[in-house]
Amino acid sequence: MVTGPMLIVIFLLSIAILLVSIIKFKLNAFLSLLLTALITGFLVRMPLEKIGGHISGGFGGTLGGIGIVTGLGVMLGKFLYESGGIEVMANAMIRQFGEKNSPLAITMSGFVTGIPVFGDVVYVMFAPMIRALSKKTGISQLIYVGGIAVATSAAFSVVIPTPAPLAVAEIYGLDIGIFFIYALIVGLVGSLAGLAWAYFVVRRDEKKGRVFVMEEVEGEEYDESTENTMVSAGELHATDTTAVSLSNGKVNAPSPAAAFSVLILPIALILIGSFGGMWLAQGTTLQKFIAFIGDKNIALLLGVFYAMISLRRYIEKPISDCLMEAADQVGLILLITGAGGAFGRIISETGIGYYLAETLSSFNISIILLAFILSQIIRAAQGSGTVAMLTTAAIVVEMIAKTNVAPALVALATCAGAVGLSLPNDSGFWAVSRFNRISEQDTLKLWSFGGLFAGLAMLLTIFILSLGQGFLPGM
């Protein structure tokens, strides 16, 4: 097999192949990752009879760690969405924060709902609510859009049980419960930074005399998939002073406590399992029970059954239909995640990671900064945050042993790098623009550069957390 400096050349070439196949040839990320893994194996002269085994081993190993919990997480989000629980949680936050602070409420709602459901779904649900709130409060729609867009991206990129950060935690061998706490802190900082950036952009434009004017939406639709999400002017005046309908105005909806409990239960079980293992004597019946219910797969499974039972009365369609739709959504996610694991296994077997570690050891480059920059570059180049995180993790994980840095910090930097600089090659860019009816220029300022600013704020937070290495749990 190839060794020495040529490994760096092959590594750079493999990244280029991955990016070109996705950007230039519009190849699906799943196929692009598998193709890149295959070509990389050829280029390093890996024995032909072993390439297929490494690819399948990496694919299966990755899905073995996160496949079940990813599917269960999507099902949990589906039940919350279909029951109206997402809407209830958002309105509860708005009532709590008040209209004056409604941009903060929307941002926090986006962060919370971005954990169980995908970004595009959040944008669809919140778009009419944002327009309605903007009319009521006089606060620019762009502030709401910037806040929720970046917050949703931060949640999806950093906070488990969303698939990509879950896979990153698995690659770095982290305790899920402890990682969740640090990810929550970092993600919240990024969300607030995104909102602050939105305020900055809008205020700067207003000083220049540029004021965003909303289009009239009465009787209009975004598209076929969102025909029930529009809020007309008449409906707006009929709403409560603090609560604005997100979707089709479900009357039969769960209480805020019931909705939040569905989201909190599996997270609480995972946290109990993580910290219970530290504080309880090993081998006791209680410790074994806590470890059982705190397992991420068991915790999510219990969460899904709890959601199914507690939200059943609020869901209009059959539960079986909800489960089938969730299964359809999770299929491609698992394929891409598994393919990322396959590429990672090839990278690992070639020794590229070890050689990079030895090469970079002669430079004074923090591995935290390296992980962030690499993830940022890959995200900007090809659009997918998931691909960026999985690719970066596969490369950087081999370097950690050569440093004194806690893997949790590197994992956080890997995820934070995927938040920023989403460009028009990312479907999320167009989802933000289309569903909120804002221009590409405004989307670039709020979403792309807002994400970059948020990512940098998250990176700063990670460096602050690194000061506690040695005495903070999991550090």
pLDDT digit string, tens, across residues 197-218: 999 999 998 888 877 665 544 4
DSSP helix/strand/coil, 430: helix
| Helix (H), strand (E) at residue 342 | helix 319-350
Q: Is the pLDDT of residue 187 over 90?
A: yes
CA distance 21 to 17: 6
What are the backbone dihedrals phi and psi of residue 101, each rounded to the nearest 5 degrees, phi first? -105, 25
b/e per residue 8-24 (b: at least 16 CB within 10 A)? eebbeebbebbbebbee
Q: Residue 439 — pLDDT band, cuts 50, 70, 90?
A: confident
* Per-residue tokens: 442: 């405004």
Nearest to 361 by CA among 405, 402, 413: 402
For residue range 343-393, list pLDDT tens digits in order: 878 877 887 766 765 666 567 788 999 999 888 888 887 677 888 898 889
Q: Does the pLDDT value for residue 106 go beyond 60?
A: yes
pLDDT at 360: 61
Residues 6+ apart with CB under 8 A from 6: none
Higher confidence at residue 100 or residue 459?
459
Query: Is the four-CA dihedral 316, 68, 428, 432 of positive or negative sign?
Result: positive
Closest CA to 333 of 115, 85, 118: 118
Predicted confidence at residue 427, as pLDDT, reads 66
pLDDT given for residue 218 in this prediction = 40
- The model's pTM is 0.73
What is the Cα–Cα distance from 137 to 101, expressed in whole angstroms? Answer: 10
66: nearest Cα among 390, 291, 289: 390
Q: What DSSP state is assigned to residue 212?
A: -
Residue, of 427 and 88, whose pLDDT is higher: 88
DSSP string, 218-268: TT--S-GGGTT----HHHHHHS-SS----SS--SS---HHHHHHHHHHHHH
Among 51-65, 240-254, 295-309, 312-326, the range scoring the smallest mean pLDDT is 240-254
How far is it, in rounded angstroms, from Cα 416 to Cα 409?
10
Write the pLDDT tens digit of every residue in 229-245.
333 333 333 334 344 45
Most confident of 81-90, 243-252, 465-474: 465-474
DSSP letter string over 124-136? HHHHHHHHHHHHH
- pLDDT digit string, tens, across residues 125-157: 677 678 777 887 888 999 999 999 999 999 989
Whether residue 5 has pLDDT greater than 80: yes
Band of residue 114 on the pLDDT scale cut at 50, 70, 90:
confident
Q: Is the pLDDT of residue 117 over 70?
A: no
pLDDT above 90: residue 72:
no
Cα–Cα–Cα angle for 85, 310, 332, nearest 5°?
A: 60
DSSP 14-45: HHHHHHHHHHTS---HHHHHHHHHHHHHHHTT
pLDDT at 235: 34
pLDDT band at 121 (very low <50, low <70, confident <90, very high): low
